[in-house]
Structure 1
């Protein structure tokens, strides 16, 4: 065998080996590309799912926040309406006059008088505008006198000089008690709950 034949055989073998390496490389490159494309697809799907979940969560948070804000505004509006109603009632009580004011004042004084023993010196305080009315009513009570004016819508504050007993039977205190006891019902009527 000649040297040329040996060289040619080695070349052929090298070419065949190179072709084999090239084919293995192309196959490995195809596998790497396919794997990379698969990984990229999985990553895209994962990111898409994450983004959709985040969008949904943000939408739910925004909706929840909007509902809470609406509820707070509704409660504020209700509170404002209730305050307006209370102010209107207070205004009506303050503007009572004539027989109606006298009847209510007498009733509140009679209830307070039950708390004091006969013979006690009792001082009655009331609204400055009711001084004349109270002095007229007090003429019917022994040992009762009109004291200082008291800042209220009407009614009386009665106290004994012999004891520490003090009875607050003002329109304000009665309204406060009635208001607290009936606030739920008033609210239900106003807001159709």
Structure 2
């Protein structure tokens, strides 16, 4: 029986060791699983944060692009409106009554022909300019009206065409015109 007792003690000891090792293994596996879950949560949280940041960047890019597109459309519409106003002003000048045109030409010639040698105008105003000016008529210009006066050497030309005058006034007044038209 002594052997049986020793064998029984060894068996009981082995069973206790198996239980203890099993419990330690269970505890270790629970700890590993817990750490894995925590690491997974942290990785998922980190990844989720990255995704949220990328989504916010994309949202900002889309908003910026949309804002730029809206500004471009508004600017194009304003430009079209300004061009329309400019074209209407040119049209009014083209179609001004002959007596009014003659009055403007007379004033231009009177104030600027001194020191000039040749004078130019459009074909429509040729007869009026020849009648009003003492200068040699130099020919017709492609313009809506007004005159150009040239010195004897031909190296100085004073441009008093309506085209240039309205463009100069328009360019100088563009900001004010834009503010008026666009509130």
Taking structure 1 as the reference length, what is the TM-score of the superposition?
A: 0.88
1:29 CA drift (Å): 0.3
Structure 2 counterparts to residues 138-157 of structure 1, below 5 A: 138=133, 141=134, 144-157=135-148
Taking structure 2 as the reference length, what is the TM-score of the superposition?
A: 0.92
Any idea what the Cα deviations from partners look like across 1:70-93, whole Å, max 9, x if unmatched? 011100110111011111111111
Aligned residues: 183
Q: Which moved more, 1:177-186 or 1:150-159?
A: 177-186
2:111 match: 111
Any idea what the Cα deviations from partners look like across 1:141-186, whole Å, max 9, x if unmatched? 2xx1211211111000110223522111110111121112211111
Work out the CA distance in 2 between the residues paired with 1:184 and 1:157: 28
Any idea what the Cα deviations from partners look like across 1:39-68, whole Å, max 9, x if unmatched? 122222222222222222222221121111
SS at match of 1:107: helix
Q: Tell me, yes or no, if the aligned pair for 1:112 and 1:169 is still in contact at 8 Å.
A: no
Q: Report runs of 4+ in structure 1 exceeding 3 Å deviation.
A: none
1:183 match: 174
Work out the CA distance in 2 between the residues paired with 1:39 and 1:111: 91
Q: Does 1:42 align with 2:42?
A: yes
Q: Tell me, yes or no, if the aligned pair for 1:157 and 1:167 is still in contact at 8 Å.
A: yes
Q: Does 1:27 align with 2:24?
A: no
What are structure 1's unaligned runs of at least 5 residues? none
2:130 match: 135
SS at match of 2:142: coil
What are structure 2's unaligned runs of at least 5 residues? none
